[in-house]
Every structure is written in structure tokens, then in C-alpha cells.
Structure 1
Amino acid sequence: MHPLKKLFSYAGAYRRDFRFATLYSIVNKFFDILPEVLIGVAVDIVVNGDKSFLAKQVLGGFGITDTWHQLILLGVLNVMIWGGESFFEYLLSVKWRNLAQNLQHDLRLDTYRHVQKLEMAYFENQRTGNLMSILNEDINQMERFLNGGANQIIQVVCSSIMVSAVFFALQPSLALISLLPVPAILIGAFWFQKRLAPRYAEVRVAAGDVSARLNNNLLGLATIKAFATEGFEARHIEEASDGYRKANARAIRVSSAITPVIRMAILAGFTATLVYGGWLTLHGELAVGAYSVLVFLTQRLLWPLTGLAEVADMYQRSMAAIDRAMDLLNTPINIPYEGRHFPVEAAKGELRFEQVGFSYGETPTLTEIDLQIPAGKTVAFVGSTGSGKSTLVKLLLRFYTANAGQILLDGQRIDELNLQDLRRAIGYVAQDSFLTDGTVADNIGYGMDDVSDADIAAAARAAEATEFIEKLPLGFATRIGERGQKLSGGQRQRLALARAILKNPPILILDEATSAVDNETEAAIQRSLDVVSRNRTTIVIAHRLSTIRQADCIYVMENGRITESGRHEALLAQNGAYAALWRLQTGERSANTAIPA
């Protein structure tokens, strides 16, 4: 489907605005060409006096044949025409600009909301910078086209029709010669347009590459500085920017040729009117006033066609941008949000995994996982990197959908539940928790309405974050920077934990939440967990076994399977993988470990 059809299909709510904006453009163009007609009428009045066309055919019945009176009437009409043209210029400008602003606002929000609903697997094959380019620059490009380009196209079409009608009414033979370049101009514009389309598609992709590279480097600036690779990354940016420049250059070579070609066609039409029309006037086959009208209208019609180059350029840039934005908006959502609603406050938190299997690609990540987590209990998952621990949590949160088996919450299949209700029932603290560029209080109360300062302070105390918060310049009102960059890793984790505590969910998940913090912070978080995990289903994924030794059950995972399970003491007694990992972390030796001589 053509990008413009996609846009009109999306913008159904704005069809009335489109109609009025188009109407204002047409009426404005009608008033815009009338002054040229008045010039011809004025010449006719001055030359022929009371025998002018206006006196004989229009005003004779009213007794207005005096030349001076005709000119006064012409002046009044001129004021009315210019007033009408200015009035509708204002109307079309307001209507088109507001339409552009409203449509780009809605499209950006709808596209962003849609992106938020896409499954996590989609983002594995996408670059953040490219998505940002679509949501920002591409949608802005569409707005720029609606701001001016759409009106220009409509007015070029209208002026062609209106001027052609005047030409054929006054002198059909001259019309055929003078307007002959118009089809050639339009055909040429479409010819150039087809060749511009793929080139501007390349431009938008190249723009996305630049945005992706910049976004990636800005997020990793600390690493770039630490490895002294500023020059290396600057060359990467140079390569991406050079690709964008070259893609634009290929489009420019084509778009720049449009104006010269159109100018030559305009020259032919204007010369034909000037010379052939003058010959007809000299031989009495065309009135002087009519000749004046046609000369001025030829320029009025043909000269604006030079703007087709700019319009075609803007049009193709916009179509490429609109195509990318609409394709993103129409990306299918594979994990539906709709489902059976259930009250979060009534959830107990009992979880069951029944023969659950999952694969990111061809290699299985989880195989035949069977386990039950009673409500209110704390369980932990340990194992080597890639063993499938975090994948279990992602399936529970429905970031992904299991390829086999089912997961149940309080006896209900989670894929049949409303996705928002399910996620509201889960508090999630990741290894690298998302923090906004807001205040400490904003981040603790993130996503929750009508929370009091007292509730936020209580959650901070429970997460043992109050001590460092009180040392900040403005306490809870201190802004912490983008992604919480003004805080240490441990401080960010305590805020993330306080957020989860304030949410007060029936299920709490900590996914490597203490892996990147110091011992003091780990101990503080552990003390907080001992309190907040009471009577709450808690799932802890950890590499540090010291943080999960008090769990009601510990599951050891390897290669996507559960190989051991039990409490800490029982697993040590089994002397298996868990016991070996415990000895590795604590430095203990088993009784049969040989001591080197």
C-alpha cells in the first residue's frame, strides 16, 4: 500500500480537517489568480473605454459605461479579491498547520504505545537509535510535509485547472500551445519522483544508522573513556555520518535536476503565449485585454511549477518517513494485552510451571521445567550463566511466551490473564533497574498514583535507603539524572527495591539485584528482603549464594533443566553442583579434597 494511503487510513478522525484544509487551499487559489484577470480587464477598459468587454457584457444593463466608474468598480473588486485571498490564506495556514501538529502528536504517541506492547524478542533485532529516529525525525518529516507541501500540491493542481479553463474560454488555439508543457512537467515530476523514492528510503535508513550509533555511544560513554577509544568511536560516527551524506548525495543528484527541466518547459510555454498570442492580437483575433490576461496567467500558472522540485523532494522524503512510521505502527503484537481481568489485591501468589519449554533460537533454553512455588514462600534459582534462570522470570512476566507447557498463577494460566493485571501483581528488581531523570521520590513512586510522601518515606526506610537519601542536597526532592547516573550502583538498587516495596505486590522478583553492589549494600538489601519477603511469594535469582541461603527452596539449573532442589543445608549434604559452588565462593574444602604438599 502506498504510504499516503496508509496515512489517510490511519488519520480517519482527521478527514473532516483534511476536507476543510483542501477547500481553503482551493478557494485561496481561486482568489489568487483573479488579480491577473483584473489586470486584463483594466487594460481593456483603458484601451476601449465605454466599449470595453466589462461595459458591454456585464455593466451595460446597470448603466455603468463611464471609464472612470468602471475603474473605481475594478478597484473595489480588487480590494475584495485581495481580502478574500488573504482571509483564506489565513484559514488554510491555520488548518494545515494544526492538522500537521495534531496528526504528528497522535502518530508519535500511538506508535510509542504500540512499541511498548511489542514483545521483547522484537527488540533483539532492532537498534534503539533506529526506533528513536522513526519516532522522532520520521514523524517530524511527515509534519513538515503537511505544514506546506500538501497545500502546494493542491494549489498547483487547482491553478492548472483554473488557468486552463480561462485559456480555453478566451483562445482555445493558444491554450493548446501554451499549456502543452504542463503535461510534460507533470510527467517529468512523476518520473523523477519514482527515482527519488528508493533513494530517500536509503536516506531514512542511513539516518537511523547515525541515530543508533550516537545513542549507543552516549550510553556507553564511560566505557569509551575508560578504554581511551574516543578516536575509534569518532571514526564509527564518521562512517555512519558519511553513509548518510552519500545517501543524501545520491538523492540530491536526481532532485536537483527537476528544477532546470521544469524551467525549460516553462520557457517554452511562456514564449508561445508571448509570441503567438501577440501575433493573434496584432491581427485582431485576440483582444488586447485578453492578451494581457493570458500573458500574466501563463506566468501565474507555469512559474509556480518550479516549486514542484522542492515539493517532490519534500514529498519523497515524507513518503519514506511515513512508510517507516506506519510499518512500525502496524508491526503485529504477538503477546496480546487483553485477557481475563483479576483483582491484584486478591492474588495469593501461588505459581506452577508445568512442562515449560522455551527457545530463543534453535537451541533450547528451557526444557520440561516442572516446579511449584507455594504462596508466601521464598525460592531461589542459581546456576551458571545461560542456564535459564532469568528466562523463567521473563516467561512469568510474559516478556516472552513459552514454546511448550504452561505457567499458572493461583491456578489460572497466565496467558489467559490480562497482561497489565498480571504485571501489576509482580514487583521486579533487575540487575540494572530503570530510573528516570526525576527526583528520588518520583523514582520510588514510579508508576503509582496517589502515593503519599509518608508512603514513599516508609518504602525508603524498608529498603534501607533513607540514610543516603537524607545526605542528598534536596533529600527526596533531589533529581538523580538520566538513568540515575548521579547515584552509585548500590544506591540505585536500593531505590529500585524501595519502588518494589511501595508497589506491595503479591509476588516479588529479584533478578541478580545484588550482583553489582558492595558487601555493605548487599547486607542492607538482604536485611530488607528478610522483612519484605514475609508472607509474599519471592523469587530470587543470584550468583552470590550468601544472599539466598535462607530461602525455603533453592533450585539449581544447568542447560535449561533443574538438576537439584532443596534447602541450603540439604543441598550441601548432597555434595553436588550447589555444594561445589558454595565451596568455591566461601573457600571451604570438602573432606575428601586433597591438600597439596
Structure 2
Amino acid sequence: MVLVSKFNFNERHRRSQHPLKRLIEYSRQYRHQIWLASLYSVLNKIFDLAPPALIGIAVDVVVEQQNSIIARWGIQDIYAQFIILSILTVIVWILESVFEYALAKQWRNLAQTIQHDLRLDAYQHLQELELAYFEDRSTGGLMSILSDDINQLERFLDIGANDLIQVTTTVIIIAGAFFIMAPSVAWMAMLPMPFILWGSVAFQRLLAPRYVDVREKVGFLNSRLANNLSGMMTIKSFVAEDYEAIRVTEESEAYCQSNRRAIALSAAFVPLIRMIILVGFTALLLYGGLAAVEGRITVGTYSVLVFLIQRLLWPLTRLGETFDQYQRAMASTSRVMNLLDTPIEIHTGDVALPVETVRGEIELHNVTFAYNGRHPIIENLSLYVPAGKTIAIVGSTGSGKSTLVKLLLRLYEVQSGNITLDGIELRNLRFNDLRRAIGLVSQDVFLFHGTVAENIAYGSFEATPAEIIHAATIAEAHEFIMQLPQGYDTIVGERGQKLSGGQRQRIAIARAILKNPPILILDEATSAVDNETEAAIQRSLEKITVNRTTIAIAHRLSTVRNADCIYVMEYGKLVEKGTHEQLIAQQGIYASLWRVQSGLVVASD
């Protein structure tokens, strides 16, 4: 309990940190590239600010001639002075261009690297989270984080980070130049700086919650779109196009309104900055000009100061756009980092159990499980599955049959009791060893967008074409596959939508056959197919269940009547067990279900 409290405290502490600090912590591995990119940005800005100084020197040569700054270096000839000035100009422009290329390449490559690694880290972390996490969240919302939020961060690193560094460099260099060249008027030009910095911080604080709301709204919108695209058949069959269009419009309008609230504030930043800078620029123009006329500063120095204050003006007016990018990026960073900080509730064990050594003996000891603190769906369940035998689990909907599958795969963790495989508790086994030992064929078959061959070989990626065809033949799928337009190279579509339910089911069985696991779980594998397809599936299952531990979860009792043992579940508890004949003789729940399904009992009006 102390460890849990400490972990929760650490998690809350991380989530309370500023997103920029969390991003810096994540980016430690890229610090060399960041320092290099930052150096290029600074050097580029230094050489970018050099031309005003060269203009001031040129003015000084024209006005002072033999008394100019270059003349003090020992070069009295005017022509030679301009030659020196021209050479310096060429060098400055070349170096400015070189570092412009270097910073653009370095920052863009860095942005690509970080967004690539961050997306992979976030996705891999998602894969390690338990199923309960996904049941509480929408696919569209998670897609928004993995795609849109990370892309938002990439856009800031691509442009915004360089802009912030260069604005900071500009302020430091110009402030230093002012105080060195004309300390008597420098304070006038620098007077607006504290107000600009204060205003920038204030705007950040006001913008931050607005952009957090923007990211949330785009998550809701993506969730709605993803849900509707996957459910298009249902939408069309219920003539709900107008209804769904209205719901998408509402989500999109909420996103637009959220953006408008942020834009209303961020758009005011640049005009306000301009007004503040105007004060310093006007003061310099007036008092600097008077100082030049009175001889307190040279004409060249005055020229440099006027040019420099202009060079300071434009970067500061772009600061509003940069801060806008920054706040959007920080809102996105917060969502991505919150995902990365989500604790993994179910951890892999450290006991190895190579698949070739698995016998397949499974035992549940007083297992209790509930979803998210709800009433237990399985309670004090004890069940034994002998190695190499076929057992069936039957019962009404909601009795906990399919939940057992998730517990056996450790997709969820039991609240109490334990489950063992070959005498080893599942908690102690490595995930890979446990799940490689189990082949699952469920009612809800998921096929990936790709070819038939790729879907059969999923999880057995090194399989040869001959092995794929052999597995499909045993599953009685080869014949219909060969009738497809491109045979095994036919694209099945997203979720296998180009195939019928029976075809998808047989491909799923072929996939399990190719995996050749010591334990086979059939979760309502024939409940959604026609009689002919069911007969074909039953023939293939009879072949692959020989000398293999098989757990068949079924609603149709006819498909499991030949099982070595049948367990009957009701409300998460084991109420009957035995062979088909034994259970019929008991005249209990199983016998009642059998009579109904076999047509021996007709419900009265």
C-alpha cells in the first residue's frame, strides 16, 4: 500500500510539472543535437545582425574619411577602406547563409527525430497497457495524441525553437551594442523590454488553458470521426447519415469555438508589442538624433542604432506567432507526456517457459475478478484443464465465459486467487512465452488491412508460402481463397470487410493452425456463421484439437458435446461439470439448455 501511494504521488508530481520541463527531461538523449542546433541559431543571428554595423562603418568612412574606424586600423586610403569593408561584407553574408542552412537542417532533422521517437515510445507504451485502459478511452482520442499532438510538437521544434533562441540572441546583442556605443540613449531603446517580457509571460499564462481546451476538443472530434468511419455500415443501414452529420458538426463547431477563443487572445499580442516597441523606437529616433547633431555620438553610430532598433522590432513582432506555436506545442506535449506517464498495471513475469516444453495443464484456484471495481463477474472459480484434453465452458450471456479468456492471456489481472500453467503461476511467466503458447480463435475476428497470406501468417511472420497454404487447407479455407481475385495476394480490406464472416473465421483458424500452439482457445468460434460453414469449421477443428489442450467456449451446445469435460457457468460461478451424457442425466441447467436448443422444448405463450 505504501508503494502504491508513493507511485501515485510520483505520478501526480510528474503530471503537475510544466510541459516544457517534462519535454526537456525526455529530450536529454538529444542534448548534443540540441546544443549544436542552438549554436547554429546563435551564430546565424550574430552574422545576421552584422550588416547594420557594416552600414554604420560605411557611413563613418564617408563622413570621417581618414578619421574613420577603419582608418584607425592603419588604412588611410579611402578606396582601400571600402575594399576592406566589401571583403567583410562578403564574409559576413557567406557565414550568415552557411549557418542559416546549418540551423534549418539541424532543427528540422531534430524535430523529425524527436517526433519519430516520441510517437514510437508512446505507441509502444500503449501496447503495454492493459485492456481496461482502452475500454475507458476512444480510439480517435488516442489517435489524436499519437498523430496530431506529436505533429504539433514537431512543428514547434521545426520553427518555433529557433525563433525563440534568435529573439533572445537579438535582444542580448542589440542591448549590448546600445550600451557600448551610446550608453546615454541606450536605456530609452531598452525601456520597453521589461514590459515586453512581462506581457509575454502574462499572455502565456492566459493562453495555456485555452490551448489545452483546443487539444481536448480536437480529441473529441477525432474520436467521433474514427467511430463513425468504422461504423459506416450501421449508419447507412439505420439511415442515420443526417443524425451523424449533425453530431460531427457539433464536435467540429466546438473545436472551432475553442480555437476562436485562443485566437482572440493570441491575435492581440503583436499589436500590443508594436505599441510598446514604438515608445523605444521614437525615443531613440528623437534623442539619438539630437545626440548626433550635438556631437555626443557619431553619425555612423546613430545610423547603426537606427538600423539595430529596426532589426529588434521585427523579431519581437513575430514573438506573438512564436508564442502561439509554443503554447499549442506545450498543450500537445502535456497530453503526450501524460500518456507516457500512465502506469502499467500488469507486468510481465521473469520465468521462461519455451513453447515446445508446454504441456498445457491449466488450473484456476478460487479466482475472483471484477471490471473496474464493479460487482465480480467471476467469483471464487476453481477449474481444471488437463493437458492434451478438450474441455468446454458453456453458460448464459454474462456468465463470465469470455472473461476467462482474457484472464488466461493476462490481458486483465485477477483480484484474488491464481491461475497456473503447467504448475507455474501466470503472474510469474513472461508475457511472450505465455501468449505464444496460446492460440485464440474468437467470434470477433480481426483481420488487418493486407493480403490473405499476410493475415494467415500474422504472428508467424517467418512462415513460408507452402506452410501458409497447408494451414489454410486444414482450415478448409484454401478453396475459397483460390477463388478470390488474386488468391492469397488478395487484399482483405480494413478489418477484413471484403470477406464474409465465415471466410474471416476460417482465415482466423488457419492463423491459429500456423501458429501451432500447445493450447487452443475457441471463443464462440462458430456462433456467427451458417450451418455449412459451421460444419466446415467443425471438421477443421476436429483435426487440430487432437492431442492439444483445447478450451472451447460456446453458446451452441452441439459444437461441444464431444468435449472430454463440460463446465457450466452461471453468474461467474461453476455450477455443473461433466461429460455431455453425465450433464444430461443430472437434469440441471445444461440439460435444460440442451432441450431448448435441440427443439425438445417449445416455449409456451
Please give the TM-score of this superposition, normalised by the length of structure 2: 0.96
Tell me if structure 1 keeps the 8 A contact 2:149–2:336. yes
Q: Distance in 2 between matches of 1:449 and 1:180?
A: 67
1:81 equivalent in structure 2: 92
User: Shift of the alpha carbon at 1:516?
Assistant: 1.1
2 CA distance for matches of 1:154 and 1:447?
48
Whole-Å Cα distance in 2 between the matches of residues 594 and 84 of structure 1?
91
Which of 497, 503, 521 pairs up with 1:491? 503
After superposition, what is the alpha-carbon deviation per residue over 1:423-446, rounded to whole angstroms, capped at 9, x for unaligned?
Answer: 111101121122111110000001
Letter of the 2:488 counterpart: F
Q: Kindly indicate whether residue 416 of structure 2 is the aligned counterpart of residue 404 of structure 1.
A: yes
Using the alignment, how far apart are the partners of 2:254 and 2:603 within structure 1?
62
Alignment of structure 1 residues 43-58 onto 2, 5 Å: 43-56=59-72
The answer on whether the counterparts of 2:471 and 2:511 sit within 8 Å (CA) in structure 1 is yes
Query: Post-superposition shift, 1:476?
Result: 0.5
Match of 2:245 in 1: 234
CA contact (8 A) 2:407 2:413 kept: yes
Name structure 1 gaps, 5 residues minimum.
Answer: none
- Cα displacement (A) at 1:303: 2.0
Is the aligned partner of 1:579 residue 2:591? Answer: yes
Tell me, in whole angstroms, the C-alpha distance in 2 between the residues paired with 1:312 and 1:332: 32
Q: Which amino acid aligns with 1:386?
A: G
Partner Cα distance (1:404, 1:102) in 2: 44
CA shift for structure 1 position 595: 9.3
1:54 alignment partner AA: I
User: 266-275 or 213-222, which moves further after superposition?
Assistant: 266-275
The 1:494/1:594 distance shift into structure 2, 3 A limit, reads: closer
TM-score normalised by L of structure 1: 0.97
CA distance in 2, matches of 1:243, 1:338: 45
Superposed displacement of residue 362, structure 1: 2.8
Match of 2:407 in 1: 395
Q: In structure 2, the residue corresponding to 1:538 is in which secondary structure?
A: strand
Q: For 1:85-484, what aligned pairs fall within 5 Å after superposition?
A: 85-360=96-371, 361-484=373-496
- The AA in structure 2 aligned to 1:218 is L
What SS is found at the alignment partner of 1:42? helix
Give the Cα separation in 2 of the matches to 1:133 and 1:10. Answer: 20
Match of 2:52 among 32, 36, 42: 36
Give the aligned partner of residue 547 of structure 1: 559
Equivalent residue, structure 1, for 2:582: 570
Query: Runs of at least 4 residues of structure 1 off by over 2 A?
Result: 593-596
SS at match of 2:86: helix
Deviation at 1:13, TM superposition (A): 1.8
Aligned length: 588
| Matched residue type, 1:528 | S
| 1:67-112 CA distance string (max 9 Å, x none) | 1111111011000000000000111111100000011001101100
Identity %: 57
After superposition, give the CA deviation of every residue in 1:261-289 in whole Å (9 maximum; x if it has no partner). Answer: 01111211111111111010011111000
Contact persistence 1:352–1:408 (CA under 8 A): yes
SS at match of 2:368: strand
Shift of 1:313: 0.5
Query: Aligned pair 1:511/2:527, yes or no?
Result: no
Alpha carbons 2:349, 2:427 under 8 Å: kept: no
In 1, the alpha carbon distance for the partners of 2:508 and 2:68 equals 86
Tell me, in whole angstroms, the C-alpha distance in 1 between the residues paired with 2:330 and 2:603: 73
Is the partner of 1:372 in helix, strand or coil? strand
SS of 2:360's equivalent in the other structure is: coil
Deviations 1:419-477 (A, max 9, x none): 11111111011211221111100000012232111100010011100111010011111
CA-atom RMSD in angstroms: 1.2
Give, in angstroms, the shift of residue 385 of structure 1.
Answer: 1.0
1:507-548 CA-to-partner distances (Å, cap 9, x unmatched) read 111111211111111111111111100111111111111111
In structure 1, what residue type is equivalent to 2:188? I
AA paired with 2:539?
A: R
1:387–1:560: 8 Å Cα contact kept in structure 2? yes
- What is the rounded CA distance, in whole Å, between the counterparts of 1:416 and 1:545 in structure 2? 35
Report deviation, 1:320.
0.3
In terms of mean alpha carbon deviation, does 395-404 or 509-518 score higher? 509-518
Match of 1:533 in 2: 545
Match of 1:17 in 2: 33
Specify every segment of 5 or more residues in structure 2 that has no aligned partner in the other structure, as ranges.
Answer: 1-16
> Structure 1 residues 594, 492: closer, same or farther in 2, change over 3 A?
closer
In structure 2, distance between residues paired with 1:437 and 1:569 = 44
Question: What's the offset of the Cα at 1:594?
Answer: 11
Distance 2:516 2:381 in 1: 28
Conserved 8 A contact 1:266-1:303: no
* Other structure's SS at 2:574 match: strand
1:2 to 18, 40, 45: 18
